[in-house]
Every structure is written in structure tokens, then in C-alpha cells.
Amino acid sequence: MRNKNWKQICLFLLPALLLYAVFFIYPLFYVFITSFTQWNGIGSMKFIGFKNFTDLFANETFRISLKNNFIWSFALGFIQIPLATIMALVLARKPKGWKVYRTVFFLPNVISQVALAMMWTAIYNADGGILNSLLSAVGLESLTRNWLGDMGTALGAVIVQQLFYIGYFMVVILASRMGISESYYEAAEIDGANVWQQEIHISLPNILPILITSVTLAMAYGMRHFESTFLMTNGGPAHATSVLGIMLYQNLGALKYGVGNAIGATLIVLGGVLIMTIRWLLNKKSQKMMG
Amino acid sequence: MIKTKSQIAVDIIAKIGKWLFIAFFLLMTLVPIIWLIITSFKSNLEYETEPLGLPKVWQWSNYAKALNMSGLPRLFLNSVIVAVCTTALNLIVSAMGGFALAREKFKAREPILSLLLAGVLIPIIAFMVPYFSIATKLKLYDSLLILIIVYAAINIPVSLFLIYGFMSDIPKELEEAAVIDGCSFSQRFTRVVFPLTKPGLVTAGTLVFIYCWNEFTYAMLLTSSVKSRTLQLGIRFFKGQFVVDYTSMLAAIVLTMIPTIFVYIFLHDKIISGMTAGAVKG
């Protein structure tokens, strides 16, 4: 049966669907179709099959970028999320001042990546940067270096700067943990379970769905990473910190639209595959855990 | 319950560990920001020779120089225009769509909902080339309008999801009463559902506003001249403008952080609860 308000329904949905069609669906087709072409954006497109992709996978910089994207994904998913989880479990027991800590930890999420990147660039700066100054002050002068210019430390320096901003995921996990009824913990307490046992047997199973979502999201962010690397190192030194987003931007600048979109398509497909694989693996594991 | 000695020892270690953990993250979050603020008050000589101490004389002039040199007022105005217009456009579009999806039943409802929500999974960063070409084709390249449209569109999945959730929770009886009183379809939206969704709209609006204020990548890609340059993009050019005056540049960065931190101080409960509402339901 047709809804009698169907005309108005269409009218109300139209603006959202129109914007969605132009800025999500059209670009998706655009990226995938042009990724099989050689095209500078102005002239005619030349269909070249999978050449963009085979060229990319043969390209050293592309392989480094791809590897760095995976490093980002795993660092965020398997270091940042566990840290955020521990913090959420700690704060859920309401230590003195926990609301203040929650507010502080979330603060970096409202500051722009540009401001944070420039702040951290100043921190890592070889001369006058606080990191080198602190190291010298405690007698570790031998460790001082140009953190973002050194092949060995640049990638780590950019990742660490993001890794400890656990606020967003901590807040999400904390909300899920606070949703568990206190009576479970009281009952466990009476049965003699210590805090550690309570967290393992009550908290973890209950927050598991949110943990899986968080790990998946964090890994997806790792694949999409662009801004702070672009602002701090622009992929350097010698592509040591490059990621796919940086390569995409550089190809756009060089008017290699076909190659750029091949990178974009790789990003979308790999991101999707990664999300689905991780979800599937974690769900399977959690089912085993829950018996 | 009586605890043994070893249990007490474990408890003490756990307590110390807990506070060390909290302290570490407080330091990691706050020390860089505090250092930035302190350094922005130093002279350039002090920055190089005394990087750790407090400034001997607090150089308020750094802030005056930052305001004069960076063109900050213009950048600020552009960012306000973009953020306010985007938030309004995004909320109207998402609320209308959310209303139709949450308060009516029709065949295409589920597929449309899934389609819109799937947008959350798409890495927007992959759309650099198409967005650039859409902007040129619409002859809107290098304008504030294209930023407003693009930002409003990008945020539809998240906003619509949040607003849809709030609208679904409104009891059916309120609308039925309004229909008996003679409310039309659009009046049900403007007079009943929209006002009742206020908390959801505030949360979604705050998130969109902060997104717009902080967005960098597409501001860089879709604009080129000063007339449509936003604050975040402007900061990027500070390096060139403050070649010999590093600490004034840091002062300019502090100035750009103030608005969102200010909003956050007043609305942090709303922001945090909104983020979790969306995430936990998902």
C-alpha cells in the first residue's frame, strides 16, 4: 500500500538525497571509472585497463605508503584502543576528579589538526623544541635529534603524537561501561571477586561490541590518515612517513587524475576489506570467548 | 571481608598504577598545550636560549603582532561564515530527511536509511579529485559557498543518524493529537517533531560546527585566494609570514585554538553525550 503522504515524503527526503548523490555516490563511480584511465582532467580520457594499478604496485613509494597506512591502522587499533579501554575502565570506577579527566582527555578532539600539528612540530623541533630541551636537561643529550627529519624517528614521531589522544574512543567505551548495571559488580564483590576479576568477567564481555566497533573505526582512520602527516612532514624525509592520502594529493597536483583516483580506489577497497576482515575476525573470536 | 597481607599489597600497587596511568595521560594532553601557551609569550631569543623556563618578561606584544601580521580577523570571519551556514544547511537537510524516515512508513525507508548511513564507512579523503572537479564544474571553485555545500554534504550521514535517533524516540501520540487538531504533514514537522528534537539538533549542530571550524584538507583543495581562506588554512601560511618571528606565530596558533576550546568548556557535556549517543546506538 502506498503511503498517502508520499509526495511530501519525497519532498522532505530530496535535499538530503540530492547532496548525498552528488557528494557520495557520483564521486564513488567517478573514482572507480577514471582509475582505469590516463587523464589530466582537461583532455580526453584514455582507457588503459589496470595499468595504473600495476604501475602503482610496482612503485616503491606506493609500497612504503601502503605499509605506513597499515602501521597507522594497527597502531591505532591495537595500541590506542587498548589504552583507551584501560582508561575507560579506570574512570568508570569514579576515582576522585574523573569527570575532569574525561573532559581533559577529550579536549584534543576539539582542537584542529593544523594547530596540533604545528604545536607538535615546535615540540619536535631540533633547536628550542621542548623534547630535545628536556632530554638535554636530564643528561640524555645523545638522544637529541631532529625528530621529524630523521629517517628512523619521523614516522614514530608523527604516530605517537596522535596515539596518546585517546579521548574520543575512551568516551565511547566509558559510556558503554557505565551502562552496565552496578548490581553485577556488587554481587561479584560479595562473592569475593577482586577488581581485576570483575573487569575481566563483567566489564569486558559487556563492552565487547563497542570494543569491536572501536577497533574497526580506529583502523579505518589509520587507512584514511592524511592531515597531520601532510602538515608535519608532507611524507618526508624521503617518503619515510608517506601514506596513500599524501600520494593521492601529490598526483592531483601533478594533474595525474587517473593515477590519483587509482590510489583513491585502492584506499576505498582496502579500507572496506580491512573493516570487514577485522570485524569478522573479532566477532568470531568474541563468540568463542563468550562460549 | 578480611584481606590478607598480599591482597593489601596488590591493592596498593593497583592504586599507584592507576594514578600513574591517569597522570601520564594528563601530562601528555596538557603539557604540550601549556608549553605552547607559555612559549607564545616569550621573546624569540628566549625561545632559543631558555626553552624550558617561564618568560622573564611576558611578551603580550606577540599577540598584537600576531593579530596584525596574519590577517587573522578576515580568516576568522570566513571561518564563522562557513561554520554557521554549514551547520544551518546541514541541520535543515538532515532534520527533514530524518523526519520522513523516522515518522513515516514506506517501502523504500529501510534501503534509503542503509544507503545514507553507509556514507560513514567511505573515506572522504579518497574523493579529492571528484570534489575538485565538481567545484570547478559548478564554477564555485575558490568560494566560501563550495566549502559550505561540501561540508554540509559530508556531515549528512552522521547528523542524520543522530537526529533520526532522537526523532524515533518521540511518542506517536503527540503527532496523532496534532493531526486531529488539523496539522498538515509539514506542520507536524515544524510545530511538533522539530521542536521536540532540540537536544539532538544542538548535539549534531555542535559536532558539525567543530568539524567545519577545524577542517583543513578540503579548504586547501577547494580554495586558493585570501577572500575564501578559512582560519585553519590561514595558519598553514603563518610559517611564511612569520619567518623571523617564531613566537608570534605560536601566539597566532593559540588565538585560533580559543574559539573551539571556549565552545567546548561550555558545551562539553552535550558534545560528549552526543558523541556517545551516536556511537553506542551504532
pLDDT at B99 over 90: yes
B214 CB neighbours in chain A (<8 A) are: 110-114
Which residues is A170 bridged to in the sheet? none
pLDDT at B217 over 90: yes
Instruction: Out of A113, A172, A265, name the one closest to residue B279 (CB).
Output: A172
pLDDT band at residue B156 under the 50/70/90 scheme: very high
Instruction: Out of A120, A133, A164, name the one closest to residue B25 (CB).
Output: A164
Q: Tell me the pLDDT of chain A averaged across its residues.
A: 90
Say if A9 falls within a structural domain. no
pLDDT at A189 over 90: no
Q: Within an 8 Å CB–CB cutoff, is residue B112 touching chain A?
A: yes
DSSP 8-class letter at A211: H
A129 CB neighbours in chain B (<8 A) are: 51
B4 CB neighbours in chain A (<8 A) are: none
For an interface test with B, the pick among A73, A93, A118, A229 (most B C-beta atoms closer than 10 Å) comes out as A118
Q: Which of B185, B162, B186 is nearest to B90 (CA)?
A: B162
Dist CA B278 CA B183 (whole Å): 31
For an interface test with A, the pick among B129, B134, B215, B224 (most A C-beta atoms closer than 10 Å) comes out as B129
pLDDT band at residue B1 under the 50/70/90 scheme: low
Render the burial of A65-78: b for 16+ CB within 10 Å, e for the rest. Answer: bbebbbbbbebbbe
Name the minimum distance, in Å, from the CA of A60 to any CA of chain B.
21
Say if A268 falls within a structural domain. yes
- A-contacting residues in B 171-230 (Cβ below 8 Å): 185-186, 189, 210, 213-214, 216-217, 221
Average the pLDDT over A61-81 and give the result: 95
Taking an 8 Å cut-off on Cβ atoms, the answer to whether B130 and A27 are in contact is: yes
Name the minimum distance, in Å, from the CA of B276 to any CA of chain A.
5
Question: The complex's ipTM?
Answer: 0.88
Helix-helix angle B198-214:B246-281, to 10 degrees: 140
User: Under a CB-based contact definition with an 8 Å cutoff, are residues B206 and B274 in contact?
Assistant: yes
Instruction: Out of A110, A113, A172, name the one closest to residue B210 (CB).
Output: A110
Say if A201 falls within a structural domain. no
A14: Cβ contacts below 8 Å, ≥ 6 apart: none
Q: Which residue range(s) make up the domain with A122?
A: 41-180+206-289
Q: Tell me the pLDDT of chain B averaged across its residues.
A: 88
Give 3-state DSSP helix, strand, coil % of chain A, rounded to 5. 75, 0, 25
pLDDT band at residue B140 under the 50/70/90 scheme: very high
Taking an 8 Å cut-off on Cβ atoms, the answer to whether B123 and A27 are in contact is: no
Say if A218 falls within a structural domain. yes
What distance lies between CA A198 and its chain's CA centroid?
30
**pLDDT at residue A81, as a whole number:** 96
Taking an 8 Å cut-off on Cβ atoms, the answer to whether B154 and A23 are in contact is: yes
Average the pLDDT over B248-261 and give the result: 87
Q: Which of B194, B191, B221, B193 is nearest to B205 (CA)?
A: B194
Residue type, B88: A
Dist CA A76 CA A212 (whole Å): 13
Instruction: Out of B36, B125, B131, name the one closest to residue A122 (CB).
Output: B36
B126 CB neighbours in chain A (<8 A) are: 31, 248, 263-265, 267-268
Say if A15 falls within a structural domain. no
Q: Which pTM does this prediction carry?
A: 0.89
Taking an 8 Å cut-off on Cβ atoms, the answer to whether B48 and A127 are in contact is: yes
- Work out how many CB contacts closer than 8 A connect A with B: 239
Q: What is the pLDDT of residues A253-285, one digit of tens each?
A: 999 999 999 999 999 999 889 888 888 888 887
Say if A226 falls within a structural domain. yes
**pLDDT at residue B278, as a whole number:** 56
Give 3-state DSSP helix, strand, coil % of chain B, rounded to 5. 80, 0, 20
What the block records as the C-alpha cell of B86 is 554549514
A178 CB neighbours in chain B (<8 A) are: none
pLDDT at A4 over 60: yes
**pLDDT at residue A44, as a whole number:** 82
Work out how many domains chain A is built from and give that number: 1
**pLDDT at residue B277, as a whole number:** 62
User: Under a CB-based contact definition with an 8 Å cutoff, are residues A220 and A274 in contact?
Assistant: yes
Residue A291, exposed/middle/buried by CB under 10 A (0-12, 13-18, 19+)?
exposed
B39 CB neighbours in chain A (<8 A) are: 122
pLDDT at A108 over 70: yes
In Å, what is the CA distance from A19 to each residue of A290, B210, B212?
A: 43, 21, 17
Name the minimum distance, in Å, from the CA of B236 to any CA of chain A.
7
B112 CB neighbours in chain A (<8 A) are: 13, 17
Average the pLDDT over B146-163 and give the result: 94
* pLDDT, greater one: B50 or B196: B196
B241: Cβ contacts below 8 Å, ≥ 6 apart: B69, B70, B249
**pLDDT at residue A72, as a whole number:** 95
**pLDDT at residue B281, as a whole number:** 45
Q: What is the pLDDT of residues A28-44, one digit of tens each?
A: 999 999 999 988 877 78
Q: Within an 8 Å CB–CB cutoff, is residue B127 touching chain A?
A: yes
Lowest mean per-residue pLDDT among A100-104, A239-243, A281-285, B124-128:
A281-285
Lowest mean per-residue pLDDT among A37-51, B216-230, B266-280:
B266-280
Say if A264 falls within a structural domain. yes
Average the pLDDT over A204-227 and give the result: 90
| CATH code of residue A273 | 1.10.3720.10
In Å, what is the CA distance from A183 to each residue of A91, A96, A150, A280, B6?
A: 18, 22, 53, 32, 27
